[in-house]
A and B are shown apart, each in its own frame.
Chain A
Amino acid sequence: MSSRIHHTEVSQRGRLGIALGWVSLALLLVGLLIYAGNSIVDRWTWAILGVGVALGIAYLALRKDAVVALIVHPSTGARANNTAFVIGVLGVLALCNYISYRHYRQTDLTKNQMYTLSPQTKEVVKGLKDDITITAFYPKSGQAAADGDRARDLLRQYRDISPKIKYDVIDPLRDKAKAEQKIQQSGYRLTSYPIMWVECGTKKEDVYQPSEQDLTSALMKVTRTTKKKIYFLYGHGEHDIDDAQQQDGLGLLKTLLTDRLNYDVSKLILRTVGDVPSDATLVVAAGPADGLPAEDQKKLNAYLEKGGKLLLLIDPRTPAPEELLKPWGVEVGNDVVVDPRIKNDCVAVVQGFEPHVITKNLQVAYFRFARSVTAATSAPSGVVTAPLAKTPAFSWAQTRLAGPYQKKPGDKDGPISLAVAVSKEINGAGPDSKEPKKSMRMVVIGDSDFATNGELPADDSHGRYFLLNSINWLTEEDALVNIPPKDPDSGDQISLLDNQARWIFIITILVIPLGVLLSGVALWWRRR
Chain B
Amino acid sequence: MRNVWIIMQREIRAYFSSMIAYGVTAFFLVTCGIFFYLTLLISANYRQPASLQPVFHNTVVTLLLIAPAITMRLISEERRSGSIELLMTSPVTETQVVLGKYLGSLVLYAAMLGLTLQYPIILSRLGVSDRGPMISGYLGMFLIGATLLAVGLVASVLTKNQILAAIGGFTATLILFIIGWASNMGSTSTLSEVLRYLSIQDHFEQFTKGLISSRDVIFFLSMIGFCLFLSVRSLTAVKSR
Contact = CB atoms under 8 A, between A and B. Distances in A.
B5 interface: no
A512 B187 contact: no
Contacts of B185: 141
A433 to B, nearest CB: 48
B215 A110 contact: no
Interface in A469-528: 488-496, 500-501, 504-505, 507-509, 512-514, 516-517, 519-521, 523-524, 527
A143 B186 CA distance: 9
Interface in B211-239: 211-215, 218-219, 222, 225-226, 229-230, 233, 237
A527 B184 CA distance: 53
Interface stretch (A97-105, A301-309, A440-448): A97-105
A104 B211 CA distance: 12
Interface stretch (B29-37, B74-82, B93-101, B170-178): B29-37
A146 to B, nearest CB: 8
A492 B50 contact: yes
Interface residues of B, number: 66
Contacts of A114: 209-210
A179 B75 CA distance: 54
B19 A105 contact: no
A519 B219 CA distance: 37
B213 to A, nearest CB: 4
Contacts of B229: 86, 89
Contacts of B132: 108-111
B130 A108 contact: no
B129 to A, nearest CB: 6
A291 B72 CA distance: 78
A47 interface: no
Give the interface centre of A488, A495, A501 by most chain B CB atoms within 10 Å: A495
Contact of A39 (B25, B129, B187): B187
Contacts of B91: none
B233 A520 contact: no
B218 A100 contact: yes
Given A491-B51, A517-B23, A110 B130 contact: yes
A142 interface: yes
Closest 3 CB pairs of A and B: A520-B22, A109-B132, A491-B49
Given A101-B215, A107-B211, A141-B188, A524 B193 contact: no
Give the interface centre of A507, A512, A527 by most chain B CB atoms within 10 Å: A512
Interface stretch (B115-123, B145-153, B157-165): B115-123
Interface in B1-48: 16-17, 19, 21-23, 25-27, 29-30, 32-34, 36-37, 40-41, 43-44, 47-48
Contacts of A100: 214-215, 218-219
Given A504-B40, A509-B34, 10 more contacts: A96-B218, A104-B214, A141-B188, A496-B40, A496-B41, A509-B33, A509-B37, A513-B27, A514-B26, A523-B17
B105 interface: no
A7 B36 CA distance: 59
Contacts of A523: 16-17, 22
B196 interface: yes
Interface residues of A, number: 58
A508 B130 contact: no
A379 interface: no
A96 B187 contact: no
Contact of A493 (B47, B119, B184, B218): B47
Contact of A489 (B19, B49, B189, B193): B49
A145 interface: yes
A524 B210 contact: no
28 contacts: A86-B229, A86-B230, A89-B229, A96-B222, A104-B213, A106-B212, A107-B212, A107-B213, A110-B209, A111-B132, A140-B192, A141-B187, A141-B193, A492-B129, A494-B40, A494-B50, A501-B40, A507-B118, A508-B36, A508-B118, A512-B118, A513-B25, A513-B29, A513-B33, A516-B22, A516-B25, A520-B19, A523-B22
A90 interface: yes
B39 to A, nearest CB: 10
A109 B129 contact: no
A108 B37 contact: no
Contacts of A71: none
Interface string A115-130: 1000000000000000
A174 interface: yes
A94 to B, nearest CB: 8
Contacts of B50: 491-494
B210 A110 contact: yes
A82 B237 CA distance: 9
Contacts of B233: 82, 85-86
Contacts of A354: none
B135 interface: yes
A109 B212 contact: yes
B128 interface: yes
A101 B194 CA distance: 11
Interface in A355-401: none
A142 B213 CA distance: 23
Interface string A413-431: 0000000000000000000
Contacts of B197: 97, 101
Contacts of A141: 183-188, 192-193, 196
B118 A142 contact: no
A173 interface: yes
Contacts of A41: none
Contacts of B122: 504, 508
A268 to B, nearest CB: 38
Nearest to A487: B49
A111 B130 contact: yes
A93 interface: yes
A490 B183 CA distance: 30
B86 interface: no
A524 B19 contact: yes
Contact of A494 (B27, B37, B128, B225): B128
B241 to A, nearest CB: 10
Given A106-B211, A491-B51, A513-B33, A111 B129 contact: yes
A101 to B, nearest CB: 5
A520 B21 contact: yes
A488 B209 contact: yes
